[in-house]
Amino acid sequence: MVNSVNYPAWAEVDLETIVNNVKSIPKLVGQKPAILGVVKANAYGHGLLPCALAMLQGGVTYLGVAQVSEAIALRQAGITNKMAKILTWLYSSNAPFDRIINLDIEISVGSFWQLEKIVQTVKKLPSKTKAKIHLKMDIEFGRDGFNPEQYDNCFKTVLKHIAFLEVKGLWTHFAMADIPENIANKKHLQAYNLFVNKYIDYFGDSNLPLRHIANSAICLTRPELAFDMVRPGILAYGLKTIDSIDINKLGFVPAMSLMAYFSTIREYQDGQGVSYGHKYKPTKATKIGVVPLGYADGIRWTKNNYLKTYSFTRDDLINSVGAICMDQTLYDLGSNALEQPGDKVEFFGVGESLVNRQKLKMPSYLTNEAKNNFETKNIKRLTADDVANMVGTIGYDIVTSVGQRIPRIYKNKAILGSYEKLLK
């Protein structure tokens, strides 16, 4: 067994893959802007610190996290400002602003209460202290950010308190970046350009802050919008953001594989009920295999409770049956199954080549809704994106849902070089 913590499953994260994915970003945009490595949400479920260090090795100069707690955790782990600047963008009014500022963590500001709170905090700190902020604009997203009607008041307020503030960035986030042809993107870009021009009106253009608007989708579709810094998120982990773009051909590979062992394999007779509600009953004698992972571990529960999983024993996919449980998923293995307790399965991983994929046969008991959600491809090894298509969600959801109780096993740690010591 692989785990030292006696858990029957594990997520393998290949740090070299993350390094290589990050190094592929400049090839997309045709230039060399600064790169902010997004490690929010525990690095999309992959592990905050190891992935942050891998991204540093890949060439990022900024790390981005949504929550303040993760920004503080990175600093506490030993990532100094000399190693990487850190930007955080979600916090409440009771956030520890003094600690954030003292740790040299840069803060996104998209509302007037945030400006006021930060200024009042800096006034209580030693003289000459300044909060480093990134001003954010928003249009037709509904999240934090100054809208065009607020631009003048925003910059007047910043100018009034410039003794306590250092503007490091001007940024925004597109609601429709993964639908590049949508007219909302043009409106958003126009509003952002106005934001930058208004800043220049108030502060001049000699020390223009970093302009950054490019997430993974924009890196893929609008490289001319790379500006001064890009913020690739899901691409760094090797998953897609736009269905029509084959990122594997662009050099991006999934970094995480979720694996487990069979705990039980039992013989069943035809007509015997399987799992909660007996929603599945085999029509002939068979073997039912149990993998001790369920929806508490991030295995997606759906009304149809249908999932395909790769069995190493047979080098093929097996079908889940019956209701997926909190801690267990069951599979009909057939009467001649060779699987044994302790044999390994893979829920998702690096997948296979997209070449020569043909349709999989779907079980007859699936509803039409489930059939529409399942993208049929003749593949054995699934990516998180493949699983997402199967259950009607997105790859982001699959990887970020991998439970915290599942150990992360990190491969190729040596690629971190001198950064590896921070993992100890």
Q: Which residues are catalytic?
A: 40, 276
Closest CA relative to residue 363, chosen from 390, 395, 397: 390
- Alpha carbon dihedral 15, 17, 18, 20, in 10-degree steps, equals 130
59 within 8 A of 32, measured Cβ to Cβ: no
Say how far apart CA 263 and CA 257 lie, in whole Å. 19
Say how far apart CA 161 and CA 166 lie, in whole Å. 10
Closest CA relative to residue 79, chosen from 411, 166, 412, 87: 87
Say how far apart CA 281 and CA 357 lie, in whole Å. 31
- Alpha carbon dihedral 300, 399, 251, 317, in 10-degree steps, equals -30
249 — phi, psi (to 5°)? Answer: -70, -15
60 — phi, psi (to 5°)? Answer: -70, 150
